[in-house]
Amino acid sequence: MTLGDLLRDAVERYPAHTALIHESRTWTYGEFEGAVRALGHHLRGLGIGKGDHVALMLPNCPEFVIAYFAIVNLGAVAVTLNAQSTAHELKHLLGDSDALAFITTAPSARRYEEIRDVVPACRHLLVANGPDSPFGRILAGEAPALESPEIAPDDPAVMIYTSGLTGKPLGAMLTHRNLYTQSALLRDIYGGTENSRSLAIIPLFHSFGAVANMLAAMRTGAGIVLMERFTLDGIFQTIARERITYLAAVPRLFLGMLFHEGAEKYDVGSLEFCITGGSAMPPEFIPLFEDKFKVILREGYGLTEASPVCSVVRRGKMQKVGSIGTVIPGAEAKIFDEDDREVPRGVEGELVIRGENVMKGYYKAPEATAQVLRNGWLHTSDLAKMDEDDYIYITGRKKRMIITSGFNVYPREVEIAIELHPAVAKARIESKPDLIRGEIVKAFIQRRPDAALDDKEIMKHCRTYLSSYKVPREVEFVNALEEKDD
């Protein structure tokens, strides 16, 4: 089965059912599929076909969902990019991915224009800016059935970039099989139906957002309410107005809801369950959230290379304090020692995953792929323990990585960017605990002799090269930095 099959099945069963809601716009599954066909024909007219790569950098809007399915229906690969990516980051992402076309908003198109001369292969720009834009008129046009090429379940469907220890982002290749099997989790683990309604707050370019709030909803014929920008009051208002039944998001959002003054004035009675992931949820706040809002909150774990969900605490099962639950159907989890041998229950080691959710590999990076995919197992670089009931507990990390508000930040990437500043001799990035974000990025910087440099200048410099979530929130200048073994 492929992602195209997922969409065709939903349209066949629920043609008049609401698929997407965005601000004042509503799309039924039939209307949505018509827009997918229209864009598919346009992309095919540009020469996009099976195996080609199309970069997609959009917020949570109908155009993202339509473009995503139009691309994969052609047998092409959707390269979903962080909407915050700077021109400096885009230079690598568009060049490394071999994208032939780039779909984005007007403000982001300006970043592309800055670097288009150094990414000559990416020759088509499509600007998506609402129903009255040229892109919107493409979607509204009548289009005949779009004949898809023969697509195998193990063909790549989506590429998502995730940084490595070297600071160089790598494209994780996720197949149709990977994502199709993940799309069943809402139905099989939490009992989602065509009457469910998802609130898509976390970005759809993120693997967690795409699976939990888009693919899983479509697999069941559920509705998807898309939010590009939000406030906590806006979230509560949307839950009440649209009768949202489930919310999958990062801990920061659930903690914000818990501490929000005036939350009690909103009717959130439609919520049936919530899923937290992306980073660790402080376990003491889960029962407080459940008690305040009278809704189930369960924790899960995943990583981009696993499409992303690996484990979750199932609805109706015990929530053990500090646990990320048990492995999902169709996958296996073990704890290995340094020699890739399984350790006894209760002993710490590296969490490894095997199953239908594990990526095909990193794009054009065979050595990096071989490092994480060994003997059929995906090595997560997360340290963990497993108890006698198969519940998994994350205990630490083998690699340098910071998870802030659900986004992975690899310190070496930030250090490289900071060291591009002429007044910086050396930089060191560390994490700092933060209740709401989980962790924040802190920079220790050694200036060059006689250089004048303050934290505001560093922040400004970083915003030129890095997405906002990677920019240090704290800067400390030091006389010298010692070399550390990463």
Tell me the pairing of strands 246-249 and 273-276: parallel
CA 135 from centroid of its chain's CA atoms = 25
DSSP 8-state code for residue 342:
B
Type of residue at 380: T
pLDDT value, residue 484: 65
- Burial class of 408 by CB neighbour count within 10 A (0 to 12, 13 to 18, 19+): middle
> What stretches of 243-317 show up as alpha helix (H) in DSSP?
251-259, 285-293
Cα separation, 178 vs 378, in Å, equals 13
Q: Are 275 and 312 in contact (CB under 8 A)?
A: yes
* Sequence spans of domains, the chain: 402-478
pLDDT value, residue 92: 94
Cα torsion 124, 127, 133, 139: sign: positive
Tens digits of residue pLDDT in 370-419: 999 999 999 999 999 999 999 999 999 888 889 999 898 999 999 999 99
Cα torsion 470, 473, 479, 484: sign: negative
CATH class (in words) of the domain with range 402-478: alpha beta
Average pLDDT in the 431-455 region? Answer: 93
- Outline where DSSP puts E strands in 49-108: 53-57, 77-80, 99-104
Tens digits of residue pLDDT in 187-230: 999 999 999 999 999 999 999 999 999 999 999 999 999 999 88
pLDDT value, residue 47: 97
Q: Are 247 and 271 in contact (CB under 8 A)?
A: yes
Prediction pTM value = 0.92
Q: Is the pLDDT of residue 120 over 60?
A: yes
Cα torsion 327, 64, 85, 228: sign: negative
Return the exposure string of 133-164: e unless at least 16 CB atoms fall within 10 Å of the residue's CB, then b: bebbebbeeebeebebeebebebbbbbbbbbb
